[in-house]
Structure 1
Amino acid sequence: MIQNGQQVKVDAQAALERFVASEMYPSWNIEALKAQAVASHTYVKYYNDVLNKAVALPNPSASNITARVKEAVAAVYCEIITLGNGQPINALYTAATAGSTRSSADTYGGSFSYLTEVESKYDCQDASNWDKVTYLKVSDVKKYLQNSTGLTLGDDPNTWITIDSHTAGGYVGNVTVHGTNGSRTYRSNYFKESVIANKLRSTWFTFEVSGDNFIFTTRGYGHSVGMSQWGAQLYAKNEGWSYRQILSHYYKGTTIQ
């Protein structure tokens, strides 16, 4: 693990408590907390064992490492998600989706059999991340686009950005930025994270230009690949799913070992 820029060894159970306390509300359903613990453990193992990389150790508020978080982690801290071969999967997770997860192939270009589109039907109940409206000043958008693309933009902001395609679930596929000296096309996740300076919550978005503002409407929060954290909470709360049901739903064809 990496802590304060230094590589350190940390007790697995204590480290997972910090991951869970950083990623979910400690008051959430204990089965959702367990799912997060297993997903976090698997994610760290994948980076350590498969990619040979260290992962940064979160530093949550001590008050978030509650008895409930400790109980959830203690129940599952030895478990990881595999394809049945003992090797950890790339257990990506996201805060919320637009009603379904995204395929990793559509998002980052890497195809994993267990990171495909699956329904996450309760995410619409997370009002803070559903139809979220974000106002960005036209002058700021121009700065973001020109700095990241090297293009010179024209006077009409309505001509700067076009959505070229959509993928499953209504997510934006490719986005093109148009300048007076050419154009650049990007995958929507790169556009969100780099071109537009990570100012949008999701790659499910629409936009319009009104006066001095770009008005973006998004659904979901994050890259939308893998387990939805709000989905995990709401499946546990609304349908009584166990952590194993949650993980097998979001990571298809996997095994918990």
Structure 2
Amino acid sequence: MKHLHRFVRRAAAFVLAAVLCVCVLAPAASAAVTIGGADTTLIPAEEENCLAWLFGSSDTITMPYLNIKGQGLRRNVTLDLVDCLVGITYTELGSIGSYVSASAAQQAWKAQAVAIHSYLEYHKQYGSSSNALIYTPVDQIPSSAREAIRRAVEPVKNEVLTYNGSVCDAVWSASAGYNTQTGVYGTCSSRDAWGTDVPYLQSVESPYEEQYHNKLRRVIGKDYTYKEYNDSRTGEPYVSADTTHKDLGGFVQYNTFVSNGRSYRYIGQFVSSRYCFDFGADESGTPCMTYYGFGHGVGMSQCGAVGYAQEQGMGYREILRHYYTGAGISASGSSGDGFFGWLHRLFHW
């Protein structure tokens, strides 16, 4: 009897779908503009055809806004999913196969691609912009790098990070910091960085920061450490600071940096508003403040991910679970979108 009921539900669903398909089937969308290779297109979201609505698709991804290299911010962007992940992964990590083994590069690219997909899906879900990411059209990527990254991305294209059943805001940064008090390299928690506690964005150890930043600095484009000799507001050396609010990685907490009795949110020569720091002197004895890290330091460290893959042979799933505390990896909702996805949920297939 149970099987009969299931059969009846499925039959009813297909009849309903067939009726609706006949009623609302629309012509295919107008010709799309090719921007990144034969399979990569920009299509205004409102022109997507009825079949995509009915069946859903895991082959494309649509974003309200996306920065495209050489074209700037574009609205209602639909891309081939793999091309999208390849293009953004290349922007973020580049041709790391030149610096680490082929297998390590594959795992780091996979971890980056899953984080990218999660980030995009999270911001789509809440209607917020993902314009911080830059998509490099795939025909602008050197062929050897493009194909290597594609081999990494293809098997994981539908995977996203989830926490308690919801997709994660899987942020990342180039490299994390160093805490001279504890001797630990590590990431920054979201609470320390932005004042909001996110369960899966906690501070975790990340031991390969300087080592792999030095290898990847051509990709990242900045030195790992900088020295500030004088306070630009007073001309005096930095000689003291509030060091009581540091997380595991040595990052200062949200809006708490105090030096020479003055409060700072951002110091001009720092590479971002998030940083960790130490005080000392240069070779001539001049007092200086050294700071570490590139980016906000929250979530996955790209240098750390590459290091874990190369030094410990970590797979991408281990890397992601290390950096996103308590997160799981699930198939994305893309293939379940559309009318048939709704029917599936309605009839409990």
| TM-score, scaled relative to structure 2 | 0.58
Amino acid in structure 1 at the alignment position of 2:263: T
SS in 1 for 2:278: strand
- Could you tell me the percent identity over the aligned residues? 28
Residue 236 (structure 1) aligns with: 309
Runs of 5+ consecutive residues of structure 1 not aligned to the other structure:
143-152
In 2, distance between residues paired with 1:117 and 1:100? 7
Equivalent residue pairs, number: 232
Corresponding residue to 1:70 among 150, 155, 163: 150
In 2, distance between residues paired with 1:201 and 1:218? 11
User: What pairs up with 1:90-105 in 2 under 5 angstroms?
Assistant: 90-98=169-177, 99-105=185-191
Check if 1:6 corresponds to 2:74. yes
More off after superposition, 26-35 vs 119-128: 119-128
Check if 1:176 corresponds to 2:290. no
Deviation, 1:9, is 1.7
Residue 263 (structure 2) aligns with: 185
Residue 145 (structure 1) aligns with: none
SS in 2 for 1:121: coil
Amino acid in structure 2 at the alignment position of 1:134: Y
SS in 2 for 1:231: helix
Report 1 or 2 for greater relative contact order, CA contacts < 8 Å, sequence distance ≥ 6. Answer: 1
Residue 149 (structure 1) aligns with: none
Deviation, 1:134, is 2.7
Given that 1:30 and 1:72 are in contact with CA atoms closer than 8 Å, whether structure 2 keeps it comes out as yes
SS in 2 for 1:14: helix
Residue 94 (structure 2) aligns with: 25
SS in 2 for 1:15: helix
SS in 1 for 2:78: coil
User: What pairs up with 1:1-257 in 2 under 5 angstroms?
Assistant: 1-2=65-66, 3=68, 4-7=72-75, 8-26=77-95, 27=97, 28=100, 29-55=105-131, 56-59=133-136, 61-63=140-142, 65-85=145-165, 87-98=166-177, 99-126=185-212, 128=214, 132-135=224-227, 138=230, 142=232, 153-154=233-234, 156-158=235-237, 162-169=241-248, 170-173=250-253, 174-176=256-258, 185-186=263-264, 190-191=265-266, 195-196=267-268, 198-199=270-271, 203-207=275-279, 215-257=288-330
Given that 1:131 and 1:217 are in contact with CA atoms closer than 8 Å, whether structure 2 keeps it comes out as no
SS in 2 for 1:176: strand
Deviation, 1:46, is 1.2
Change (3 A) 1:137 1:159: closer
Runs of 5+ consecutive residues of structure 2 not aligned to the other structure:
1-64, 178-184, 331-349
Amino acid in structure 2 at the alignment position of 1:204: C
Structure exhibiting the larger radius of gyration computed from Cα positions: 2
Residue 60 (structure 2) aligns with: none
SS in 2 for 1:157: coil
Change (3 A) 1:199 1:112: closer
Amino acid in structure 2 at the alignment position of 1:58: Y
Change (3 A) 1:227 1:94: same
Change (3 A) 1:123 1:208: closer
Change (3 A) 1:40 1:162: same
Given that 1:133 and 1:215 are in contact with CA atoms closer than 8 Å, whether structure 2 keeps it comes out as no
Amino acid in structure 2 at the alignment position of 1:6: R
Given that 2:225 and 2:293 are in contact with CA atoms closer than 8 Å, whether structure 1 keeps it comes out as no
Deviation per CA, 1:114-134: give whole Å up to 9, x if none: 001111122242363899443
| TM-score, scaled relative to structure 1 | 0.77
In 1, distance between residues paired with 2:229 and 2:276? 20
Given that 1:132 and 1:217 are in contact with CA atoms closer than 8 Å, whether structure 2 keeps it comes out as no
